[in-house]
Chain A
Amino acid sequence: MLSCVDLAKTYRSERGEIEAVKGIDIEVRPGEFASVVGRSGSGKSSFLAMIGGLSRPSRGTVRIEDTDIWSLTDDRLANFRNRRIGFVYQFASLLPTLRIIDNVALPALLDRAQDAASAYQTAAESLDQLGLSDYIDAYPAEISAGEQRRAVIARALNNSPALLLADEPTSDLDEETERRIMDQFRNLNRERGVTLIMVTHNLRLAELTDRIIHIAGGRLAS
């Protein structure tokens, strides 16, 4: 499903070069639910951004379902992200001026292969599956943080991605909501076979996943 070879990322700033990720080799199997743990600044979010096609590696390759994603042109990479990868972030990532259903339908609307009617129908079904059918016409500011996060998960799943990437998805949520989000992830993983990679600094959450990947100082730790 996912294969990274010698993956590295160096940021250049006025203060010099910072090597955030220093050559990671890893394989994630289809249907696996993996967590990436490490201290702040260990390089785990940069690693996630590279495997999600959001930040170009300084070195190395990322293959998802036999596609070397960083060899794609920018437009084809955007299409790949749209159709094969879903993202859940550590902050509220719904567009505030759009209704919940518009937010969830957005990836499908951006993909010109789908018409608006089917995009909205799929969005309504995704919201229903995540228990948010009562909030279809609500705006993000009108629902709770936990419901917003579930709406983001619904958006991430709207195009039936092969890989779902979550960056500290529960960091600002209370324990009860955190548990519900983790249950949703587990259900998606078991029932729909979605491969999940979740970055967290919370070891208790990481222990709920199939596999824990430790990153320290930009490298895989034993």
Chain B
Amino acid sequence: MLTSVRQGLTALLGGVLGLMAIMFVSTGLMVSVLFSAIITERRRELGLLRAIGARRKQIVGMLLMEAGLATAVGGLAGCVLGLLLMRVYERSLVHHLDSMGIPFLWLPAGTIGLIAVACIVLTSLIGAAGALYPAWRASRLEPYALIRSEG
């Protein structure tokens, strides 16, 4: 019986990891599409920055930092929401299992904190990676072409 449970959990873990990978890739693509639209809308602003002396690397750096910060805030919001859901879970299912004498093992608080930090860092990196191509493409355009854009 233990073997079949272990096999089931292994299959479940593989499925969860696969799903997570798909979610990360699709999030990266969504950020990329979103930042393409944002950058197109702000072309004139980028052109002005180039005209007053911003280098290509500075433009790419600024856009990546913006994407990284925005997605990190999203990651933080996700972690807060996850913690709130854990509290709800603790007061419902875990409470019910405890009343039946079945212990529920939580991860130590420090480990949960570390996982939350890792999630925020990961979302920030996915955001920056998603914005990399549109930022690089915008930085390749001539300042005058950027300035002439409607925006």
Contact = CB atoms under 8 A, between A and B. Distances in A.
Interface of A: 46, 49, 52-56, 74-75, 78-79, 81-83, 87, 89, 91, 93, 95, 106-107, 110-111, 155, 159
Interface residues of B, number: 19
A83 B53 contact: yes
Given A78-B50, A89-B147, A93-B48, A54 B142 contact: yes
Contacts of A110: 49, 52-54, 58
B96 interface: no
Contacts of B53: 78-79, 81-83, 107, 110-111, 159
A49 B144 contact: yes
Nearest to B146: A54
Main SS class of interface, B: helix
B85 to A, nearest CB: 34
A107 B52 contact: yes
A78 B55 contact: yes
B142 A56 contact: yes
Contacts, number: 54
Given A95-B45, A110-B58, A54 B144 contact: yes
A82 B52 contact: yes
Given A93-B48, A95-B45, A95-B48, A55 B55 contact: no
Interface string B56-73: 111000000000000000
A155 B51 contact: no
B58 A74 contact: no
B43 to A, nearest CB: 13
B28 interface: no
B51 A54 contact: yes
A55 B143 contact: yes
**Top 3 A-B pairs ranked by shortest CB distance?**
A82-B53, A55-B144, A54-B144
Given A49-B144, A55-B144, A74 B51 contact: no
Nearest to A81: B53
25 contacts: A49-B144, A52-B51, A53-B143, A54-B50, A55-B142, A55-B143, A55-B145, A56-B142, A74-B56, A75-B55, A75-B56, A75-B57, A78-B53, A78-B55, A78-B56, A79-B53, A81-B51, A81-B53, A82-B53, A87-B51, A89-B48, A89-B147, A95-B45, A95-B48, A110-B54
A54 to B, nearest CB: 4
A110 B55 CA distance: 9
B147 to A, nearest CB: 7
B48, B53, B58, B142 interface centre (most CB from chain A within 10 Å): B53
Contacts of A56: 142
Contacts of B143: 53-55
Contacts of A78: 50, 53-56
Contacts of B50: 54, 78
Contacts of A46: 144
A73 B147 CA distance: 21
